[in-house]
Amino acid sequence: MMFTVAIDGPAAAGKGTISRAVAARFGFAHLDTGALYRAVGVKGGDPVAAARSLSPEDLARDDLRTLEAGQAASKVAVIPEVRQALLEFQREFARREGGAVLDGRDIGTVICPAAEVKLFVTASPEVRAHRRWLEVGGDAAQVLAEVKERDERDMNRADAPLKPAADAVVIDTSTLSVEAAVAAACAEVAARLR
Ligand code: DC
């Protein structure tokens, strides 16, 4: 069976948590596509060459979740050749046997426009910055500024900007518990699987 769940949204909206929970619940494979861009961003050197030669070791680095890696990812993600180099891997992952969940910015719009389920997971910048701050610590105002800066860049780039697909179901997690957000996402998947 092939079944693709596309989960897009801005930084720290809860995509990762929801994606992992959906994948576990339905036995689907999960790909965090942000990790691909983070790995390219932290690799250094020419980002296009880095994207074309990405290895499993690059994806296993333990510094991919830092704020710096997020900013570096957002910067290399504006380069069309970088996006192009990562596209086929993501599409193949999406069509694997047994079902797949991909989370990112352009999964429902560009990578998998025919995905069986498309979710757009969002929350206010303040709520997202607070969650990121709980994860990484540091200066809260700085974390909020970085979240806003990354939103700005991700939403306004020319190639595959962050936006909900026309047929995406929006889940705003600003005032939802993790359990409620996961339940809403799982209900959408269950409805399409029937
Ligand atoms: O989801 P994340 O915070 O790990 O993503 C890091 C950056 O990578 C994000 O700011 C923009 C980029 N990205 C992208 O352009 N397209 C994706 N599908 C996933 C991430």
3-state DSSP of 63-102? CCCCHHHHHHHHHHCCCHHHHHHHHHHHHHHHCCCCCEEE
Measure the CA–CA gap between 30 and 4, rounded to whole angstroms.
10
Q: What is the CATH number of the domain that holds 185?
A: 3.40.50.300
- 41 close to ligand 1 (CB < 6 Angstrom): no
Domain that holds residue 172: 4-193
- 8 close to ligand 1 (CB < 6 Angstrom): no
Measure the CA–CA gap between 140 and 111, rounded to whole angstroms.
33
137 is in an annotated binding site: no
Q: Quote the pLDDT of residue 5.
A: 98
Tokens of 152: 């700005």
Q: Quote the pLDDT of residue 194.
A: 83
Residue nearest to atom 10 of ligand 1 (CA): 74
Q: Among the atoms of ligand 1, which is closest to the Cα of residue 70?
A: 6
Measure the CA–CA gap between 149 and 75, rounded to whole angstroms.
11
Count of domains for the chain? 1
- pLDDT 10s digits, 87-129: 999 999 999 999 999 999 999 999 999 999 999 999 999 999 9
Q: Quote the pLDDT of residue 50.
A: 98
Q: Which amino acid is at 173?
A: T
Residue to mutate, 20, 37, 107, ligand 1, most ligand atoms under 8 Å from C-beta: 37
- pLDDT 10s digits, 24-79: 999 999 999 999 999 999 999 999 999 999 999 999 999 999 989 999 999 999 99
> What is the pLDDT averaged over residues 79-90?
98
Using left for φ > 0, alpha for ψ between -120 and 50, and beta otherwise, residue 9 falls in left
Ligand 1 midpoint to CA 194 (Å): 31
Contact 42, 67 (CB under 8 A): no
Measure the CA–CA gap between 66 and 72, rounded to whole angstroms.
10
Q: Quote the pLDDT of residue 12.
A: 93
Measure the CA–CA gap between 64 and 172, rounded to whole angstroms.
26
Ligand 1 midpoint to CA 164 (Å): 14
